Structure 1
Amino acid sequence: MGDKKIWKNNNGSVTSDVNKRENKECPQSLVIRGDVFETKGKVMVLPCGLTLGSHITVVGKPRVAHAETDPKISLLKKGQYLMVSQFMMELQGLRIVDGEDPPRILHFNPRVKGDWSGKPVIEQNSCYRMQWGTAQRCDGRKSRADEETVDGLVKCEKWIRDDENGSDESKITWWLNRLIGRTPKRMDVDWAFPFAEGKLFVLTLRASLEGYHVNVDGRHVTSFPYRLGFTLEDATGLSLNGDIDVHSVFAASLPTSHPSFAPERNLDWSNRWRAPPILDGPIELFIGILSAGNHFAERMAVRKSWMQNRLIKSSKTVARFFVALVGELINGTYDTNSTSLNSFVEGF
């Protein structure tokens, strides 16, 4: 009786909480000036995240390099210093997990000066559960032809490197060869690193089918494939930090409702992701999964991946989540067919 009473009391607060979320405003576009952006902690809140086709435009200017004695992007001996100019643009999940730093769904880090390689680079990564993934570094060399693309675009475009000869001599040779008909009519343009100290830039980040695409001054620069653990709607904040002066930030084509809050599209109650019922016959394997109450993203990842295996669908193998019943974490989205709520466990 005690467990039922606890569940009833918590379930009453769930309804009002869900109603509040359903009424949450989801603007289709947002714009913020640089001075206002500073006062808001250098974060633009995206109330309902992103959706396919959403894009964010940043107008800014990298600051002139300054001396650092302990740069995080290079190694120095004691007493040495390094001139550094870098900034970080991040898509963050501001409300995914309580008690943890916001996950970095996308970490975009142009290093104009100061990288350990001695060259300007762009490093991209993601941080999930406070654990960084494998970094994707773009150092001016175009991605290999056999490397996986993102929506048909290469992960890294080419730009002029310090160790390459982008001199006028090669251009003169190209024109001479063209005059005598030895070269194609089109000449590949050599681009410089897309960011420079004190130079204004216009950066556009776009969410597409397979990943994020970054254009700078109208030219595609990098693409970053989506990583497991996040959906587009999880990206509820854009932050800009480091050596950058932000003039303005504009976000458009945003979702007008949050799929997790809209009752007609609530994936939590979708039969597609529910575990199949246990049949009367014997089972061959039982899998118990310990999960904290606020680890919804992990449970959905499991539901959408190996829980779709034909053995689990046939009920020969049964998988069930064991989740602690902590009142403040109950949000009315548990699939009671596949989740056991335990009032006697504080958390995992």
Structure 2
Amino acid sequence: MVSQFMVELVGTKVVDGEAPPRILHFNPRIRGDYSGKPVIEMNSCYRMQWAQSHRCEGFASRPAEETVDAQLKCEKWIRDDDNKSEESKMKWWVKRLIGRSKDVHISWPYPFGEGKLFVLTLTAGLEGYHVNVDGRHVTSFPYRTGYTLEDATGLSINGDIDIESIFASSLPSSHPSFSPERYLEMSEQWRAPPLPTEPVELFIGILSAASHFAERMAVRKSWMMYTRKSSNVVARFFVALNGKMEVNAELKREAEFFQDIVIVPFMDSYDLVVLKTIAIAEYGVRVIPAKYVMKCDDDTFVRIDSVLDQVKKVKSDKSVYVGSINYYHRPLRSGKWAVTYENGQRRLTQVMPMGLAM
């Protein structure tokens, strides 16, 4: 049986059909954790992908470990296996009262309990979040790369908990702006060069969503710079239309300035990713003939030099596919990747590539 609750700072939904990002996920588990002990787990989640969790299991962080604003990431609490008897507790109090022990260390129990009232305080420091329970520091969680407090637009509390009251103070005086102007840097140095007139060695199609202004700008400023220095490699973003007209207007303005976006003529949906993939393949054959065609997402970092080194090893009279292949795969009939009987009648697919690669 599980006994737990969650406190989350959530951001604005990035893609329709996906849960909003969790800037901070605070999850005390009184009962039901796989360790069999009470724990506190903290994490962050972006586009439904969880990062590595930070767990406190009753052991204090070592002084040599990284701290958060000079606070330990985990404080110590009394575990069930500490074996501290009532007699030893009495001796500890006697020693403290009569002054026989100069160095006194207070051990506290796990800060949460079923049917127990508590006051939880969440504060944001320079380096991360800090959690106090009943005035005592319990844990600290460093900021994750790409997340800032200003990105948090909502508070979510759920699980086995009854809320008496919530009080917020010292919040930003203005709402965070999610306008493209916050991310797009309209500079000539990030514009794509014109398409070459001759065939190229490698064409890279990058799947992106209309609202992913920040992701596209990060790609332009990182690995995509290689394509501006080489006439043998071309990269383009493939983006479908958004349900909001204002987003499409900003996308059109971005595409006209940077000259690196191919807008496919349909409304964006996860079910239509295959159409984007086909568009990438057609572009790499008909618009800019390329010897090799590659597909990736806008959250992927591509080592173009390494990719070229690998394809150069392929003999000129041979073809190559780089990617994952499923053999004798059964179509999934439920869940996110479900295939209907109309779209996939066969029970077994002998060979099925997992996405287009090269």
| TM superposition score normalised by structure 1 | 0.61
What are the within-5 Å matches in structure 2 for residues 31-50 of structure 1? none
Q: Secondary structure at the match of 2:4?
A: strand
- Which residue in 1 is equivalent to 2:74? 156
Question: Deviation digits for residues 27-82 of structure 1, max 9, x if unmatched?
Answer: xxxxxxxxxxxxxxxxxxxxxxxxxxxxxxxxxxxxxxxxxxxxxxxxxxxxxxx3
Q: Which shifted more, 108-117 or 287-296? A: 287-296
Query: Against the structure 1 CA distance between its residues 259 and 126, is the aligned structure 2 distance closer, same or farther, given a 3 Å change threshold?
Result: closer
- Which residue in 2 is equivalent to 1:189? 106
Query: Against the structure 1 CA distance between its residues 308 and 173, is the aligned structure 2 distance closer, same or farther, given a 3 Å change threshold?
Result: farther
2:62 equivalent to 1:144: yes
What are the within-5 Å matches in structure 2 for residues 1-348 of structure 1? 82=1, 84-166=2-84, 167-168=88-89, 171=92, 175=96, 179=100, 185-260=102-177, 266-271=181-186, 276-277=190-191, 288-299=205-216, 301-302=218-219, 307=221, 312=225, 315-316=228-229, 321-326=237-242, 328=244, 329-330=247-248, 332=250, 335=254, 336-337=257-258, 339-344=260-265, 346-347=267-268, 348=273
How many residues are treated as equivalent by the alignment? 255
CA contact (8 A) 1:143 1:156 kept: yes
Percent of residue pairs identical? 59
Following TM superposition, by how much is the alpha carbon of 1:293 offset from its aligned partner in structure 2, in angstroms?
A: 1.2
Following TM superposition, by how much is the alpha carbon of 1:119 offset from its aligned partner in structure 2, in angstroms?
A: 1.9
Q: 2: CA distance between counterparts of 1:168 and 1:289?
A: 63
Following TM superposition, by how much is the alpha carbon of 1:174 offset from its aligned partner in structure 2, in angstroms?
A: 5.3
Query: Against the structure 1 CA distance between its residues 92 and 327, is the aligned structure 2 distance closer, same or farther, given a 3 Å change threshold?
Result: closer
- Which residue in 2 is equivalent to 1:49? none
Following TM superposition, by how much is the alpha carbon of 1:176 offset from its aligned partner in structure 2, in angstroms?
A: 9.3
CA contact (8 A) 2:13 2:19 kept: no
Q: 2: CA distance between counterparts of 1:275 and 1:340?
A: 16
Q: 2: CA distance between counterparts of 1:176 and 1:257?
A: 52
CA contact (8 A) 1:91 1:238 kept: yes
Q: 2: CA distance between counterparts of 1:140 and 1:151?
A: 21
Following TM superposition, by how much is the alpha carbon of 1:221 offset from its aligned partner in structure 2, in angstroms?
A: 1.0
In structure 2, what residue type is equivalent to 1:109?
N
RMSD over aligned CA atoms reads 3.7
Unaligned ranges ≥5, structure 1? 1-81
Q: 2: CA distance between counterparts of 1:296 and 1:262?
A: 9
Following TM superposition, by how much is the alpha carbon of 1:161 offset from its aligned partner in structure 2, in angstroms?
A: 0.9
In structure 2, what residue type is equivalent to 1:337?
F
Question: Deviation digits for residues 93-138 of structure 1, max 9, x if unmatched?
Answer: 2433222122322221111233332321111222222222222221
CA contact (8 A) 1:292 1:323 kept: yes
Q: 2: CA distance between counterparts of 1:117 and 1:149?
A: 25
Unaligned ranges ≥5, structure 2? 274-358
| TM superposition score normalised by structure 2 | 0.59
Larger relative contact order, structure 1 or 2 (CA cutoff 8 Å, min sep 6): 1
